[in-house]
Amino acid sequence: MSTSTPTPGAGDGEGRWAVGAVVFAAVLLLVNGVLGILQGASAVSKDKVFVSTPHYLYKFDLTGWGWIHVVLGIIAILVGLGLLADQGWARWTGVAIACLSLIAQFLWLPYYPFWSVVMMGIDVFIIWGLTSHRRVRDF
């Protein structure tokens, strides 16, 4: 007769919640990356949807902001794929990218306020999901 050791947290609601949070954060990171690329492409092409703020302390050229969002978006997509593949490096890299994205969105507030707040909310959910204490492979 063989005995089996239970997987840590297997069967408990909290463990499944933590795994779901990581997968949710990974999917949000992918979505955040795609939206960041689209937002950056719109800024690089100098669309007329952005507000002009002449006296903003952190003023960059709209094209410069666009490239920042495109680069963060590409990295976010790569990290999101790494999270779904359960790569060890991806969790804390995802937290770092979400933090950078949150800061970039805060600095982007005067150009597109409503969208920046939405993206900041997504970044907060990503950080929350990735800082949960369980790994996906524990289940």
Q: Domains of the chain: which residue ranges?
A: 25-138
In our burial notation (b when 16+ CB lie closer than 10 A, e otherwise), range 83-108 reads bbeeeeebbebbbebbebbbebbebb
Res 127: pLDDT: 92
pLDDT for res 72:
93
Entry pTM: 0.77
Query: At CA 138, angle to CA 132 and CA 6, rounded to 5?
Result: 125
- pLDDT exceeds cutoff 70 at 137: no
pLDDT of residue 77: 96
pLDDT value for 88: 85
pLDDT on residue 45: 84
Q: Read off the pLDDT of residues 5-35 as tens digits, 9 standing for 90 and up.
A: 444 444 555 555 556 778 889 999 999 999 9
pLDDT of residue 44: 84
DSSP string covering the chain: ----PPPTTTT-HHHHHHHHHHHHHHHHHHHHHHHHHHHHHHHHTT-TTSPP-TT-TT---HHHHHHHHHHHHHHHHHHHHHHHTT-HHHHHHHHHHHHHHHHHHHHHTTTSHHHHHHHHHHHHHHHHHHTSS--GGG-
Please state, in angstroms and as integers, the Cα–Cα distance from residue 67 to each residue in 51, 57, 75, 93, 98, following that order.
Answer: 18, 19, 12, 20, 17
Banded model confidence at residue 112, pLDDT cuts 50, 70, 90:
confident
| pLDDT, mean over the chain | 80
- State mean pLDDT over 65-73: 90
Contact 25, 78 (CB under 8 A): no
